[in-house]
Structure 1
């Protein structure tokens, strides 16, 4: 099986050397590589252009729309490989990453495969975000966050796809600046395609390194999720609604207390705080990371819930 590797990039000067060296040196060597750049001006393109002499299998494509789904849709029709592997510059990969992907396709018969999203070691805040986003309290029962899960599932992180499936279910929906992977994978399941997660496919993701960027990231996840679920109802899970209802509860809490004058209305908030403390301090991490994790939980839950609310209003406004 020949593979094509697609890598959407934008302002990646801090990461471009690592991802370039990996994709060039990893087996199999007979592969084609596409870097799809969204208009970088930080030295990323200069670095790549200086490396073009390394082989004619390296291609650089300009992405005028900047978004990931547009980058993928531009490139997938150009790919000549039987398998298309998407990489992210902010992620590290094991040396046998491509080989494990090929073997998983052969062994499982799946049309889409991938590995769980392991968290790379970084700053204390990045480590805390990693703890929060790999716990059931943080993100529910999403299997690609659990590094020991092996089997068929409804979505994988990044992923690799048999090229033939795009003729059957189409390309990515460019409406989704976030959640485009979820939407595509739910659509694949809806059309009877099989997705398999193999923990032997090892990759390590670097989380955001600021509260502000984390908030924006999860707000955007929530913003596009209602549209994803309406388009592909088979992807619905209760976990998608819990942050939405939690934020609604927080918004009406002052009114509830004003009218009922009862401490009982604080029970859901008290329960949330207890669970936050438990899941922050039960992990084997240092005290600083435990405290930071305690702050991360409400950020990802509230930002996602707010995004979900705005996403619903956006859909209602569009349909009115």
Structure 2
């Protein structure tokens, strides 16, 4: 057992003052269209305590850096630090090093906090003794495609698993969306793992739990999330996510949920069905014994059931228009198959230098 194994347990954390200061941390890269409104929205939180926002500036090419630096000149609560590497975990750690307050909240340029998010989060930290907590990701969309992606995010058939996608009760959690942290997390642990370009939140929360800390989900905390707005960006995002999840599995195999293996199994099953179909069309299977032909033909049963399930799920979305339902039926397998393909690639080769280029 390591020396840090109990240092984040609830009873070991000091009592929070009435309205502790909150430091928001945000890594940004090419966010010129969103960063100004994101900053002003975050600093407009309905909260009585002191606030600051520290932005880690990646090597943007769209004017993001200039916008942030000008805002920092106008408001001392805005702090900018350089993140030449542009990697998210590196930027998060650089931002944390510049924070001043006992509560550290991770925020994102594409997410919108509910007005009382900070006040509720601080109160929930105080009441629960949690080391980190997060709320409900409320995915939203403007176009029919983006609404379909948002629906998939919120559906158990889409991402499933984490409470922050569809949970409705406060509970202990494996991880948290974004996260509102006690500062002690970063004094006890070494911050985010900079070798993980994706999945660094899950890995940090794993170490928090191993250090005796509690991770909480509170559905009263809501964050509006705007997902990718094109099919190609969605596919790139989920492929990269699958690659990096496999990297985490390689490092922490027994500590991962079995649900992470469902998409790669789906990819293998669909691939086997395609191969069997090609063999049939080329006449190869005619030379096989009957029992073998029947055995290999059974590979289509799970694939057919999956397709039928996707169609049925889309059809049951009665509150969606026809275009959104059609996109929903296309988005679900896109998410599952690209994530699964990325996972298989990452499991075999590791994540190496893979990057998510969907932003």
TM-score, normalised relative to structure 2: 0.84
Corresponding position: 1:297 with 2:316? no
For 1:149 and 1:297, locate their aligned partners in 2 and report how far apart those are by CA, in whole Å. 25
What does residue 74 of structure 2 align with? Answer: 54
Give CA-to-partner distance per residue, 1:179-233, whole Å, 9 cap, x none. 1111111222233211111111111000000111111111111101122134334
Corresponding position: 1:264 with 2:298? yes
From 47, 61, 66, the equivalent of 1:41 is 61
SS at match of 1:32: strand
Which structure is larger by alpha-carbon Rg, 1 or 2?
Answer: 2
SS at match of 1:138: coil
CA 50–74 in structure 1, closer or farther in 2 if over 3 Å, else same: closer
For 1:18 and 1:261, locate their aligned partners in 2 and report how far apart those are by CA, in whole Å. 61
Corresponding position: 1:240 with 2:250? no
For 2:301 and 2:39, locate their aligned partners in 1 and report how far apart those are by CA, in whole Å. 51
CA 279–264 in structure 1, closer or farther in 2 if over 3 Å, else same: same
Deviates more, 1:48-57 or 1:68-77: 48-57
Alignment of 1:1-320 (within 5 A): 1-26=20-45, 27-28=47-48, 30-233=50-253, 235-257=255-277, 258=279, 259=285, 260-262=292-294, 263-283=297-317, 284-315=319-350
For 1:316 and 1:45, locate their aligned partners in 2 and report how far apart those are by CA, in whole Å. 29
For 1:46 and 1:198, locate their aligned partners in 2 and report how far apart those are by CA, in whole Å. 36
For 2:85 and 2:351, locate their aligned partners in 1 and report how far apart those are by CA, in whole Å. 26
For 1:233 and 1:149, locate their aligned partners in 2 and report how far apart those are by CA, in whole Å. 29
For 2:121 and 2:160, locate their aligned partners in 1 and report how far apart those are by CA, in whole Å. 26
CA positional deviation for 1:164: 0.6
Residues 156 and 166 in structure 2, CA contact (< 8 A), matched pair in contact too: no
Residues 37 and 62 in structure 1, CA contact (< 8 A), matched pair in contact too: yes
Residues 118 and 147 in structure 1, CA contact (< 8 A), matched pair in contact too: no
Give CA-to-partner distance per residue, 1:83-105, whole Å, 9 cap, x none. 11010000111111111111110
Residues 186 and 234 in structure 1, CA contact (< 8 A), matched pair in contact too: no
What is the aligned residue count?
A: 318
Residues 54 and 98 in structure 2, CA contact (< 8 A), matched pair in contact too: no
For 2:187 and 2:249, locate their aligned partners in 1 and report how far apart those are by CA, in whole Å. 23
Residues 269 and 299 in structure 2, CA contact (< 8 A), matched pair in contact too: no
For 1:243 and 1:55, locate their aligned partners in 2 and report how far apart those are by CA, in whole Å. 46
CA positional deviation for 1:316: 11
Deviates more, 1:26-35 or 1:66-75: 26-35
Residue segments in structure 1 that go unaligned for 5+ positions in a row: none
For 1:19 and 1:36, locate their aligned partners in 2 and report how far apart those are by CA, in whole Å. 14
Residue segments in structure 2 that go unaligned for 5+ positions in a row: 1-19, 280-284, 286-291, 353-359
Give CA-to-partner distance per residue, 1:133-187, whole Å, 9 cap, x none. 2211112322111152421111111111111112323211112111111111122
Residues 190 and 232 in structure 1, CA contact (< 8 A), matched pair in contact too: no
User: Higher helix proportion, which one?
Assistant: 1
Deviates more, 1:215-224 or 1:252-261: 252-261
CA RMSD in angstroms comes to: 2.0
For 2:303 and 2:228, locate their aligned partners in 1 and report how far apart those are by CA, in whole Å. 27
